[in-house]
Chains A and B, each alone.
Chain A
Amino acid sequence: MTTIFGVPLPAILGQLMLGLVNGSFYALLSLGLAVIFGLLGVVNFAHGAFYMLGAFAAYVGLEYLGVNYWCALLLAPLAVGLLGIAVERLFLRHLYQLDPLYGLLLTFGIALIAEGIMRGLFGASGRSYPVPVLLQGGFNLGFMVLPIYRAWVVLASLSVCALTWFLIERTRLGAMLRAATENARLVQAFGINVPLLVMSTYGAGVALAALAGVLAAPVIQVSPLMGSSLVIVVFAVVVIGGMGSIVGAVVSGLVLGLVEGLTKVVYPEASNIVVFLIMAVVLVWRPTGLFGKE
């Protein structure tokens, strides 16, 4: 059997596949974070909590309401996105004139509330969500078995990322969004409803996080704290990629997922911290991040 570093090749490929799956979650989450930051100037600490709520929405939908995976894929982001819109209208909107740190603190508080409520209702233990029938099993590639669901996660998140990129860079709506990011007052003066744009952007970014949550539900345990450490890794990812850059967020998300997977093979103890180490190195070398402009 072929081995690299004394590790059999299928094991490496398996970990790389896992890394790619994690990387797709990082990409989806950091994409939403980057879009929100670009327009609102808010670092959304509640992003991990919204991801968790997305997964729970799918779980609750299936357990109590009989909503299947495919409907959840649509409904959960919608519901959580609406919640995000409510948060923007009620709280965030009043903080835009202030130091951006207040936005971070507010969303931190909201994350605590969301996680606390879910822990109060469902307890801290994880719950499993079944893989939908259509995506069960795996392809035998000869050298390894590729679980269909994992391939689907990667494919789905990459398509959503590409779609978001297209929406922002190639459509009229995206043009308005980019213009408002540059100079909100001027765009407002042209008669474009900027507050509405800001509100829907936050809702959309939050919906992306929820979508990642639904996609993640069958591969991880759905638990109230599933987002709280993930959001820190995603912060590191956007610091590495450079905030406000969509391509940077997606690419660094995927690459860091792969690097993490590879670290699990080579030196498992460091797999939790490798992203943070890379962040430190990148900051020393290029303080603006790999894709950042500033």
Chain B
Amino acid sequence: MRAQMTVYGVLAMLALAAPFLGLYPVFLMKLLCFAMFACAFNLLLGYTKMLSFGHAAYFGSSAYVTGWLVTAHGWGTIEAILAGVAVSMLLGFVIGAIAVRRQGIYFAMITLALSQLVFFICLQARFTGGENGLQGIPRGSLFGIISLGRDLSMYYFVLLVFVLVFMLIRRIVYSPFGQVLKAIRANEPRAISLGYHVDRYKLLAFVLSASLAGLAGSLKALVLGFVTLSDVSQGTSGEVILMTLLGGSGTFLGPVVGANIVVTLQEYLSDLVGAWVSVIIGAIFVVCVMTFRRGFVGEIQGRFARAAGTP
């Protein structure tokens, strides 16, 4: 626990100082948004073992709603973010209610199919701008006082939201609700026989995860100033799985590490190798599934636990 706090402390310092270390703030914010997305996804995969193959649906639709409200209707930043989260929450509720009726592999396929439905709706709806997406989304200001147009103030805003989300997820996992989720993950029939309404717990976890994914999407729309169809596509759903898996699902820091690796790789490789990026992403997927299924953070924690004598 002590070591963990030290790690968090160092990371927090790094995050606070990062813009002054010569790192490009927009890139840092993109990292934070995807890290938040992966943490939200991890809440589902890591703590309930439900593999949603369609999380881009919540990420993207919330991004669209926020972007559209800000651009076309002149909504304030906070209200637009909340509206986006509300939409992804609702979407998560509807899709979750259908998907939790099945488990495992079926759950993955159903969430994938329903997210494709969302993708096609976004492709054809008027307000999303179809193939062009939304562009030139202004960042606005916080309560009309602090302008977010400057990269630095936006960075600290995103960082603050990220830290709050991270703490919220920790709180959820350690709460009685989180313990029930772990019980369901470990042995679902037993949880049922103990009298828990398993489906309700799963649905709530799903809705929470979808809402937080939506929050990440809204922030991403404001940070980059655009939303495109790729934000709701299955490619993005796959990427968030990879981030979580690579970093270590079921660990708090894993998704953050994984998101950093994947986003950084994409940023630098896409200039270098172009279309071959997806080959590299696919290869990482294969290596990850074949050789280290616990992910970076999972493996490191495993080492430490073994060294400390507690398996």
Residues of A within 8 A of B (CB): 43, 91, 94-95, 98-102, 104-106, 108-117, 119-120, 123-124, 228-229, 232-233, 235-236, 238-239, 243, 269, 272-273, 275-277, 279-280, 283-284, 287
Contacts of A101 in B (CB 8 A): 51, 104-105, 108
List 29 A-B pairs, Cβ < 8 Å.
A43-B108, A43-B109, A101-B108, A104-B51, A105-B51, A105-B245, A106-B290, A108-B241, A109-B281, A109-B283, A109-B286, A111-B282, A112-B238, A112-B279, A112-B282, A113-B278, A113-B279, A115-B278, A116-B277, A229-B234, A233-B113, A236-B109, A239-B106, A269-B124, A272-B123, A273-B121, A276-B113, A276-B116, A283-B110
In the assembled complex, B170 has its CB within 8 A of some CB on chain A: no
Most B Cβ at <10 Å: residue of A119, A229, A233, A280: A280
Q: Tell me how far the C-beta of B293 lies from the nearest C-beta in chain A, rounded to whole angstroms.
A: 7
**Which residues of A are found within 8 Å of B274, using beta-carbon distances?**
120
Across the A-B interface, the 10 shortest Cβ-Cβ residue pairs: A109-B285, A112-B282, A116-B279, A116-B278, A113-B282, A276-B117, A236-B113, A109-B286, A272-B120, A235-B109
Q: A114-B282, A239-B106 are in contact. List 12 more A-B contacts (CB 8 A).
A: A100-B105, A105-B51, A109-B284, A117-B279, A119-B278, A229-B234, A232-B234, A236-B113, A243-B106, A275-B113, A283-B98, A283-B101
Neighbouring A residues of B284 by C-beta, 8 Å = 109
Measured CA separation A276–B117 after assembly (Å): 6
Cβ-defined contact, A279 with B113, below 8 A: yes
Interface 0/1 of B108-149, CB less than 8 Å to A: 111011101100110110000000000000000000000000
Residues of B near A43 (CB, < 8 A) are 105, 108-109
Q: Verify A239–B104 contact, CB threshold 8 A.
A: no
CB distance from A164 to the nearest CB of B (A): 22
Known contacts A102-B289, A109-B283, A273-B120; decide if A119 and B275 are in contact (CB<8 Å). yes
CA of A192 to CA of B121, assembled, Å: 50
B276 touches A (CB below 8 Å): yes
> How many Cβ-Cβ contacts under 8 Å join chain A to chain B?
126
B234 touches A280 (CB 8 A): no
Give the nearest-CB partner of A279 in chain B.
B113
Give the residues in chain A near B286, CB-CB below 8 Å: 91, 106, 109-110, 113
Write out the residue numbers on chain B whose beta carbons fall within 8 Å of the beta carbon of A94: 290
> How many residues belonging to B are interface residues under a CB distance threshold of 8 Å?
42
Closest residue of chain B to A124, judged by CB?
B275
B254 to chain A, nearest CB (A): 15
Q: Is B150 interfacial (CB-CB < 8 Å)?
A: no
Return A30 CB to nearest CB of chain B, in Å. 12
CB atoms of A120 and B276 under 8 A apart: yes
Distance in angstroms between the alpha carbons of A25 and B48 in the assembled complex: 36
Closest chain-B Cβ to A49's Cβ sits at a distance in Å of: 10
Which residues of B (63-109) have their CB < 8 Å from a CB of A?
98, 101-102, 104-106, 108-109
Chain B 247-288 interface mask (CB, 8 Å, partner A; 1/0): 000000000000000000000000000111111111111101
Given A91-B286, A111-B282, A117-B279, A287:B113 Cβ within 8 A: no
Chain B contacts of A114 at CB under 8 A?
A: 282
Which of A98, A99, A101, A243 counts the most B-chain CB atoms under 10 A from its CB? Answer: A101
- Least Cβ–Cβ distance between B121 and chain A, in angstroms: 7
Q: Which residues of B contact A238 (CB under 8 A)?
A: 109
Asked if B241 contacts A105 (CB within 8 A), the reply is yes
Across the two chains, which residue of chain B brings its CB closest to A113?
Answer: B282
Closest Cβ of chain B to A124, distance in Å, is 7
Tell me if B114 and A276 are in contact (CB < 8 A): yes
Given A106-B290, A276-B114, A112-B275 contact (CB < 8 Å): no
Q: Which of B109, B114, B289, B290 has the largest count of A CB atoms less than 10 A from its CB?
A: B289
Chain A residue contacts of B114, Cβ below 8 A: 276, 279-280
Q: Check A235 against B113 for contact (C-beta < 8 Å).
A: yes
Asked whether B98 lies within 8 Å of A280 as measured between CB atoms, the reply is yes
Residues of the B chain whose Cβ atoms lie less than 8 Å from the Cβ of A273? 117, 120-121
Shortest CB distance A33–B (Å): 10
- Whether B112 and A287, one on each chain, are in contact in the complex, defined by CB atoms closer than 8 angstroms, is no
B289-A232 in contact (CB<8A) = no
Residue in A closest to B284 when the chains form the complex, CB atoms: A109
> What B residues does A104 contact at CB under 8 A?
51, 53, 105, 108
Closest to B237 in A: A108
Contact across chains for B285 and A106 when beta carbons are under 8 A apart: yes
Of the candidates A106, A112, A235, A269, the one whose C-beta lies within 8 Å of that of B289 is: A106
Q: Which residues of chain A are near B277, meaning CB under 8 Å?
A: 116
Q: CB within 8 A of B285: which of A112, A123, A229?
A: A112
**Complex interface: chain B residues within 8 A of A115 (CB):** 278
**Chain A minimum-CB-distance residue to B273:** A120
B106 contacts A100, C-beta separation under 8 Å: no
Inter-chain CA distance A76–B109, complex, in Å, is 28
> What residues of B have a CB within 8 angstroms of the CB of A98 in the complex?
293
User: Which of these, B120, B278, B283, B289, contacts A105 with CB under 8 Å?
Assistant: B289
A111-B116 Cα distance, complex, nearest whole Å: 17
Asked whether, in the complex, the Cβ of A239 is within 8 Å of the Cβ of B124, the reply is no
Could you tell me the distance between the alpha carbons of A269 and B51 in the complex, rounded to whole angstroms? Answer: 30
Instruction: Across the interface, name the chain B residue whose C-beta is closest to A269.
Output: B124
Cβ–Cβ contact A239 & B116, under 8 A: no
A112 touching B109 by the CB < 8 A rule? Answer: no
Nearest CB to that of B279 among chain A residues?
A116
Residue of B nearest to A105 (CB): B289
Which chain A residues border B124 with CB–CB below 8 Å?
269, 272
CA–CA, A276 to B111, complex, Å?
A: 10
A100 CA / B105 CA spacing, docked (Å)? 7
